[in-house]
C-alpha cells in the first residue's frame, strides 16, 4: 500500500512536470508575415477593444501580425526595463519627457511625407502639435482624453440639487458650488459612518487637473522652469485636500490608490460615490451601471481650463527592425477605420475632423452619457493655444510632486504652500539636469 502510494505520488509529480516542460506550444511566426509587437497599458476592457482593432487591421494587412502586450500597472517601469534590455516592443507608448529626448523613439516625418493617406488638414487644429518634440513628429495624438466630471444623476435628483450641467448653463459652476453640492450629497448612517461619499479623487495624477482648473501655472510653457509655489496652484491643492480633511465629503487615501490602482470607478459604478473626475475611457467601463450618470465640464475658477494627458506618446522604437510595418500599424491607429472601431467601444474621442462632425459614425448612444458633447467642448478648450495639458516632465519630477508632495498635503501633514515650497528646488534641479544632458 505504502509503495503503491509512493509510486502514485511520483507519477503525479512526473506527469505534472512533463506537462509543464514539454507541452509548450512552440511559437513560430507564420511564414511570410512580419510580426509587429505593440505595448500599451490598459485593463480587461481595453484588451477587448485592442483585439477588435487588431482583428480589423490584420484583415486589411495580411502580411503583418500584431502582438499585443497589455500592461495594466507599473507601465513605465516595464517599458524602461525592456528598453534597457534592448528588447523593446516595435510600437509602444512612453512618457515623452523621459524618453523622447533620449532618442528612444524614431521620428516619423519621412513616413508622413510619403504617406498618401496622411493629410494634416484631416485633424482638428492643434492636434498634430501635441506629438512633436523640437520640430520632429514622433507621434500623432489621434484621440484626446479630456478630463470631465462624472456625476450620478439619481443622487443629484434625490438631493434636490441642480445638476452640474444646469449650474454650468447658469454660469454658476465653480469650485464653490461644487463644494456646496458635496456637502449635500455625502450621506452618513445613524452612527456617523459615511455610506456614500460625494466625491472621490480618481488617482494622485489627477491633481494636475485641480491645478489647471484653478488657472494654476506651475511650469513655464516649455516645462523647463518650475514655479510650484504659484498661488493658484497652492490654492487648488489645499482646497481639494480640504474636501477630505476639513469638510469630510471625500474619503482619505485608500490602500489601492496608494499602490497606483484606482478603486474609484468601481465605487462610482456601484453608486457609492456621487462624483469623480475622469476621461472618455470611462464610458466603456461604466457600461451596465444601474443608476443613470452624466458628464459635465469640471468645476472651474476664472482662468481655469481642463486638461488632457498628452505627456504620453505612442511611437515607433528607434531600433525597430521593420519600421515600415510598424508605421502601417501606427497610422492605422489614427486612421478613420481604426478610430471608428476604438471610439465606438467607448474609450476616446477621435480628433479627426470628419469623425468629430459626424458622431453618428461611431458614437454608440446606448452607452454614451446624455451630454456626451461635453467631451468635445472641453477638448476644444484644451486645444486653444497654448494647449493646456498635463506637465511634460520627467517621471522622477512628476512622482516627487504627485507622490510625495501631494500625499503630504492630502494627509494634512503639510499645507500646500509648505509642501510645494519644499519640493520646488528638487524638481527644478531634475528639470535642469534633464535639459543639460540634452
Partner 1 sequence: MRSKRPSALVLREEKDFFLFSSPWWLGLVLFVIGPMIASIVISFTQWDIITAPKWVGLRNYIRLFRDDPLFWKSLRVTAVYTFVLVPLQLVLSLLVSVLLNQRVRGLGLFRTLFYLPTVLPVVASALLWLWILNPEGILNFVVGLFGIPRQNWLTDERLALPSIMLMSLWGTFGTSMVIFLAGLQGVPESLYDAARIDGANWWARFRYVTLPMISPVVFFNFLMGVIGTFQVFTQGYLLTDGRPNNSTLFYVLYLYRSGFEYLKMGYASAMAWVLFAIIFVLTLLILRSSSLWVYYEVNR
Partner 2 sequence: MRPGKEPKAVGIRTRRNLSRGLIYAILILGSLVMLVPFYWMFVSSLMTEAEVLSYPPVWIPKTWRWKNYLEMWHALPFTTFLRNTIVLTVGRMIPLVLSCSLVGFAFARLRARGKDALFLLLLATMMLPSQVTMIPLYIGFAKIGWVNTFKPLIVPAFFGMPFYIFMMRQFFMTIPIELDESARIDGASTLTIFVRIILPLSKPALAAMCVFIFMWSWNDFFSPLIYLHKTEMYPLALGLQLFRSYGEYLTRWEYIMAGSVAMTVPPLLVFFFSQRYFVRGITLTGLKG
- Cβ distance to partner 2 smaller for residue 147 or 409: 147
Decide which of partner 2, partner 1, none touches 76; Cβ closer than 5 to 8 Å per partner kind: partner 1
Closest CB 353 distance from partner 2, rounded Å: 32
CB atoms within 10 A of CB 193: 7
- Cβ distance to partner 1 smaller for residue 229 or 395: 395
Q: Residue 198: in which H helix or E strand, if any?
A: strand 194-199
Closest CB 390 distance from partner 2, rounded Å: 20
Place of cell 515650497: 421
Closest CB 414 distance from partner 1, rounded Å: 9
Residues 6+ positions from 345 with CB-CB distance below 8 Å: 48, 49, 52, 284, 364
Using rule CB under 8 A, residue 407 touches partner 1: yes
Cell numbers at 320, concatenated: 525597430
Residue in 384, 359, 202, 238 with CA at minimum distance from that of residue 306: 384
User: Distance between CA atoms of 250 and 367, rounded to whole angstroms?
Assistant: 27
Decide which of partner 1, partner 2, none touches 5; Cβ closer than 5 to 8 Å per partner kind: none
* CA distances to 49, 65, 202, 233, 277 from 210, in Å: 30, 42, 11, 8, 10
Residues 6+ positions from 355 with CB-CB distance below 8 Å: 336, 339, 340, 343, 361, 362
Among positions 187-226, residues that touch partner 1 (CB under 8 A) are: 193
Are the C-beta atoms of residues 349 and 383 closer than 8 Å to each other?
no
Decide which of partner 2, partner 1, none touches 70; Cβ closer than 5 to 8 Å per partner kind: partner 2
Cell numbers at 33, concatenated: 508575415
Are the C-beta atoms of residues 155 and 185 closer than 8 Å to each other?
yes
- Cβ distance to partner 1 smaller for residue 102 or 176: 102
Among positions 106-135, residues that touch partner 1 (CB under 8 A) are: none
User: Distance between CA atoms of 44 and 265, rounded to whole angstroms?
Assistant: 14
Closest CB 73 distance from partner 2, rounded Å: 4
Between CA 408 and CA 418, with CA 243 as vertex, the angle to 5 degrees is 30
Using rule CB under 8 A, residue 259 touches partner 1: yes
Q: What's CA 183's distance to the chain center, in Å?
A: 29
Closest CB 192 distance from partner 1, rounded Å: 10
Are the C-beta atoms of residues 330 and 108 closer than 8 Å to each other?
yes
Using rule CB under 8 A, residue 432 touches partner 1: no
Residues binding partner 2 (CB under 8 A)? 16-17, 19-21, 23-24, 43-45, 69-70, 72-74, 78, 81-82, 84-87, 256, 261-263, 265-267, 270, 285
Encoded one letter per residue, x for contact with partner 1 by CB under 8 A and - for no contact, window 364-403 reads -------------------------------xx--x---x
Using rule CB under 8 A, residue 408 touches partner 1: yes
Cell numbers at 394, concatenated: 520627467
Q: How many chain residues are in contact with partner 1, going by CB under 8 A?
A: 27
Decide which of partner 2, partner 1, none touches 395; Cβ closer than 5 to 8 Å per partner kind: partner 1
Decide which of partner 1, partner 2, none touches 258; Cβ closer than 5 to 8 Å per partner kind: partner 1
Among positions 154-193, residues that touch partner 1 (CB under 8 A) are: 193
Using rule CB under 8 A, residue 76 touches partner 1: yes
Using rule CB under 8 A, residue 237 touches partner 1: no
Encoded one letter per residue, x for contact with partner 1 by CB under 8 A and - for no contact, window 27-56 reads ------------------------------
Q: Indicate if the alpha-carbon torsion angle 35, 40, 44, 47 is positive or negative.
A: negative
Are the C-beta atoms of residues 306 and 213 closer than 8 Å to each other?
yes
- Cβ distance to partner 2 smaller for residue 173 or 205: 205
Cell numbers at 361, concatenated: 459614425
Closest CB 98 distance from partner 1, rounded Å: 8
- Cβ distance to partner 1 smaller for residue 129 or 404: 404
* Sheet with 105-106, side-by-side order of all strands: 64-71, 34-41, 91-95, 312-317, 105-106
Decide which of partner 1, partner 2, none touches 253; Cβ closer than 5 to 8 Å per partner kind: partner 1
Residues 6+ positions from 207 with CB-CB distance below 8 Å: 201, 237, 240, 401, 402, 406
Using rule CB under 8 A, residue 255 touches partner 1: yes
Closest CB 45 distance from partner 2, rounded Å: 7
Q: Can you tell me which of 63, 220, 253, 384 binds partner 1, judged by CB under 8 A?
A: 253
Q: What 8-state DSSP symbol labels residue 66? A: E
Residue ranges in contact with partner 1 by CB under 8 A: 76-77, 80-81, 83-84, 99, 102-104, 193, 252-255, 258-260, 395-396, 399, 403-404, 407-408, 411, 413
Amino acid at each position: 500500500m505504502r509503495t503503491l502510494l509512493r509510486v502514485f505520488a511520483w507519477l503525479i509529480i512526473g506527469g505534472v512536470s512533463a506537462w509543464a516542460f514539454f507541452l509548450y506550444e512552440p511559437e513560430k511566426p507564420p511564414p511570410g508575415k512580419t510580426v509587429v509587437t505593440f505595448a500599451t497599458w490598459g485593463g480587461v476592457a481595453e484588451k477587448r477593444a485592442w483585439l477588435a482593432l487588431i482583428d480589423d487591421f490584420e484583415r486589411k494587412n495580411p502580411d503583418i501580425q500584431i502582438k499585443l502586450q497589455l500592461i495594466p500597472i507599473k507601465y513605465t517601469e516595464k517599458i524602461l526595463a525592456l528598453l534597457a534590455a534592448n528588447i523593446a516592443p516595435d510600437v509602444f507608448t512612453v512618457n515623452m519627457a523621459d524618453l523622447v529626448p533620449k532618442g528612444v523613439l524614431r521620428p516619423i516625418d519621412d513616413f508622413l511625407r510619403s504617406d498618401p493617406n496622411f493629410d494634416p488638414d484631416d485633424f482638428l487644429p492643434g492636434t498634430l502639435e501635441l506629438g512633436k518634440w523640437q520640430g520632429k513628429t514622433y507621434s500623432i495624438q489621434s484621440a484626446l482624453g479630456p478630463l470631465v466630471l462624472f456625476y450620478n444623476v439619481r443622487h443629484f435628483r434625490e438631493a434636490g440639487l441642480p445638476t452640474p450641467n444646469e449650474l454650468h448653463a447658469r454660469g454658476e459652476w465653480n469650485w464653490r458650488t461644487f463644494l456646496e453640492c458635496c456637502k449635500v450629497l455625502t450621506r452618513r448612517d445613524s452612527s456617523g459612518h459615511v455610506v456614500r461619499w460625494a466625491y472621490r479623487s480618481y488617482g494622485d495624477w489627477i491633481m494636475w487637473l485641480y491645478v489647471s482648473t484653478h488657472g494654476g501655472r506651475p511650469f513655464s510653457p516649455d516645462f523647463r522652469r518650475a514655479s510650484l509655489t504659484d498661488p493658484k496652484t497652492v490654492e487648488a491643492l489645499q482646497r481639494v485636500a480640504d474636501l477630505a480633511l476639513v469638510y469630510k465629503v471625500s474619503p482619505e487615501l485608500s490602500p489601492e490608490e496608494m499602490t497606483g490602482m484606482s478603486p474609484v470607478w468601481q465605487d462610482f459604478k456601484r453608486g457609492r460615490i456621487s462624483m469623480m473626475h475622469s476621461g472618455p475611457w470611462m464610458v466603456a467601463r461604466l457600461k451596465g451601471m444601474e443608476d443613470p450618470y452624466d458628464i459635465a465640464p469640471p468645476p472651474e475658477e476664472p482662468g481655469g481650463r481642463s486638461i488632457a494627458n498628452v505627456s504620453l506618446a505612442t511611437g515607433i522604437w528607434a531600433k525597430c527592425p521593420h519600421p515600415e510595418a510598424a508605421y502601417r500599424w501606427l497610422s492605422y491607429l489614427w486612421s478613420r477605420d481604426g478610430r471608428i472601431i476604438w471610439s465606438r467601444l467607448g474609450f476616446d474621442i477621435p480628433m479627426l475632423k470628419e469623425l468629430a462632425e459626424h458622431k453618428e459614425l461611431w458614437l454608440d448612444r446606448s452607452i454614451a452619457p446624455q451630454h456626451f458633447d461635453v467631451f468635445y467642448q472641453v477638448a476644444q478648450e484644451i486645444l486653444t493655444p497654448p494647449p493646456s495639458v498635463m506637465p511634460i516632465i520627467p517621471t522622477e519630477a512628476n512622482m516627487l510632486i504627485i507622490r510625495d508632495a501631494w500625499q503630504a498635503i492630502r494627509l494634512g501633514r503639510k499645507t500646500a504652500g509648505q509642501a510645494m515650497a519644499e519640493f520646488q528646488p528638487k524638481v527644478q534641479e531634475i528639470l535642469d539636469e534633464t535639459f543639460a544632458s540634452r
